[in-house]
Amino acid sequence: MSKEKTATELLKDKLLSDRRNGAVKSGTEVEKAFDYCDGYIDFMNACRTERECAAFITAEAEKRGFSPFDKSKKYSAGDRVYFNNRGKSVVLCVFGKKPLSLGAKIVASHIDSPRLDLKPNPLYEDSELAYFKTHYYGGIKKYQWTVMPLALHGVVMNKNGEKVTVRIGDSEGEPRFIITDLLPHLADEQEKRTLADGIKGEELNILIGSLPLKDGEGGDLVKLAIMKILNEKYGIVEDDFMTAELEAVPAYPACDLGFDRSLIGAYGHDDRVCAYPAFTSLFDADAPEYTGIAVLTDKEETGSDGVTGLNSAYLKHFIYDIAEAQGENGRDVIRKCECLSADVNAGFDPVFPSVHDKLNAAYLNKGIVLTKYTGARGKGGTSDANAEFLGKVTKIFNDACVLWQTGELGKVDEGGGGTVAKYLANTGIEVVDVGVPMLCMHAPFEVAAKIDIYSAYKGFKAFFEQK
């Protein structure tokens, strides 16, 4: 029996924010969120690198009527095109009913994640054990990457100029790899190191074998035996490592977490947890009024520089090209574009409460996080979204019953970080950060909530479908 609300309760309802857990709010589709996330887990297990994500997304797009963008063609409302940038970033576009001169609605996320890249000369032997040397990619806590199973993904260009694809360590029956750590019995000196130095960059060496070449003579026979296996399996020689791109990633699959299965643990949530909603919402967007663009970019974790990162001109040029194909001026179109920079934010972690301002932190299960500004030390390096645009985006979310919250990345002066938002803003596109809150960001196993992941999908879809 619901008893009548008091005057104070009614005033609270009217004037104060409702910051309850999404699961207890009416309108939160928990069951739908759980169903949606089954597809997300499949995606995460199929794709461990930016290249694999780009290939997967391109193939899924083609199944749904997307074709490579052709400058010479004239497109009309509902037509679906894509641009695959060197196999590492993808732009998907659905033409809207309104002219492009009114701008496009963009959702931009990244598909690269922190990992360990092999060095150009990775292979060596020490004390009859063979190793790969690595150089870490993105911001990691190095000690987290030891003593767990690793897989190896990437490409090697062989002497004939052919690209050889490597993917080993994820499937049943395949060998895995490991970075060793000291036993506690002998770690007294190591344990005096700071946490940041607990494992040093040059100690991130991957153990890859231990048997010397049978009947061989001379030194380095384990290294030689490993190279022999690699040559037989992939047709490569040691020199080919110098031009290769090989990435060591955690070898365990994404899975449900918790007795209630409300959370997902996975490697690479940052930022595939926003990338998956970005492209699935565009796939599902119903006859959009405005042209919709989903950007799945590379290189965010190393600062967005590079030809496949959003600090390069590839997105701007794509927009110019679709504008010209429609007889519009590219600059005019860019000026009218609006974008959700879809990236994760830190969720409040009650085990480590001191780094957050409780009032302004994001929380798991309270929906997608609107982050007005990122940056560090007085908002340095942020694009700081405009109130007018934030007001517009939150109205779209509210009208579509999207669960959302606001969140700062930690306390003032506690640290900081950035996203692709500023690179879009710097081209003249209106932009705000919106994404899924998470725990253990940049760890080899990150945590996100299903309700929040589905909220991202609903939010991005409403943004694409705005009138």
Task: Indicate the residue among 52 and 125 with the shorter CB distance to Mn ion.
Answer: 52
Stretch that binds Mn ion, among 35-43, 84-92, 127-135, 270-278 (CB under 5 A): 270-278
Task: Indicate the residue among 244 and 436 with the shorter CB distance to Mn ion.
Answer: 436
* Residue 138 Cβ vs Mn ion, minimum distance, rounded to whole Å: 6
* Residue 251 Cβ vs Mn ion, minimum distance, rounded to whole Å: 21
Contact (Cβ atoms closer than 8 angstroms) between residue 93 and residue 291: yes
3-state class (DSSP) for residue 248: strand
Site for Mn ion contains 50 (CB under 5 A): no
* Residue 341 Cβ vs Mn ion, minimum distance, rounded to whole Å: 10
CA 65 vs CA 61, 88, 307: distances in Å? 7, 21, 27
Residue type, 467: K
Total residues at the site for Mn ion (CB under 5 A)? 3
Site for Mn ion contains 270 (CB under 5 A): yes
Contact (Cβ atoms closer than 8 angstroms) between residue 396 and residue 463: yes
Task: Indicate the residue among 212 and 418 with the shorter CB distance to Mn ion.
Answer: 418
* Residue 211 Cβ vs Mn ion, minimum distance, rounded to whole Å: 38
Residue type, 372: K
Q: How many Å apart are CA 3 and CA 365, to the nearest integer? A: 28
Return the beta strands (E) in 169-220 as ranges. 178-179, 205-209
259 phi and psi angles, rounded to 5 deg: -60, -30
Task: Indicate the residue among 298 and 430 with the shorter CB distance to Mn ion.
Answer: 298
Task: Indicate the residue among 271 and 338 with the shorter CB distance to Mn ion.
Answer: 271
Q: How many Å apart are CA 433 and CA 435, to the nearest integer? A: 7
Q: 10 Å Cβ neighbour count for 87?
A: 16
Task: Indicate the residue among 226 and 436 with the shorter CB distance to Mn ion.
Answer: 436
Q: 10 Å Cβ neighbour count for 218?
A: 7
153 phi and psi angles, rounded to 5 deg: -130, 150
* Residue 325 Cβ vs Mn ion, minimum distance, rounded to whole Å: 31
Alpha-helical runs (H) found in 246-386: 269-284, 314-325, 330-336
Residue type, 438: M
Footprint (CB under 5 A) of Mn ion, residues 271-290: 271
The encoded tokens of residue 406 equal 């606001």
DSSP assignment letter at 253: P
Site for Mn ion contains 247 (CB under 5 A): no
Footprint (CB under 5 A) of Mn ion, residues 331-360: 343
Please confirm whether the linkage preceding 197 is cis (ω < 30° from 0). Answer: no
* Residue 99 Cβ vs Mn ion, minimum distance, rounded to whole Å: 33
Name the residue whose CB lies closest to Mn ion.
271
How many CA atoms within 13 Å lie on the side-chain side of 60?
Answer: 20
Contact (Cβ atoms closer than 8 angstroms) between residue 159 and residue 175: no
Can you name the residues that pair with 207 across neighbouring β-strands? 131, 178
* Residue 34 Cβ vs Mn ion, minimum distance, rounded to whole Å: 24
* Residue 112 Cβ vs Mn ion, minimum distance, rounded to whole Å: 9
* Residue 355 Cβ vs Mn ion, minimum distance, rounded to whole Å: 16
* Residue 51 Cβ vs Mn ion, minimum distance, rounded to whole Å: 18
Task: Indicate the residue among 96 and 268 with the shorter CB distance to Mn ion.
Answer: 268
Task: Indicate the residue among 285 and 431 with the shorter CB distance to Mn ion.
Answer: 431
Q: How many Å apart are CA 138 and CA 300, to the nearest integer? A: 9
Stretch that binds Mn ion, among 264-272, 288-296, 330-338, 408-416 (CB under 5 A): 264-272
Q: Which residues contact 203 (CB under 8 A, 6 or more apart)?
A: 142, 179
* Residue 144 Cβ vs Mn ion, minimum distance, rounded to whole Å: 14
Dihedral angle sign, alpha carbons of residues 183, 184, 188, 192: positive
Mask: binding to Mn ion, 297-336, rule CB under 5 A, as x and -? ----------------------------------------
Can you name the residues that pair with 369 across neighbouring β-strands? 405, 435
Task: Indicate the residue among 270 and 465 with the shorter CB distance to Mn ion.
Answer: 270
Which residues of the shown chain bind Mn ion in the complex (CB under 5 A)?
270-271, 343
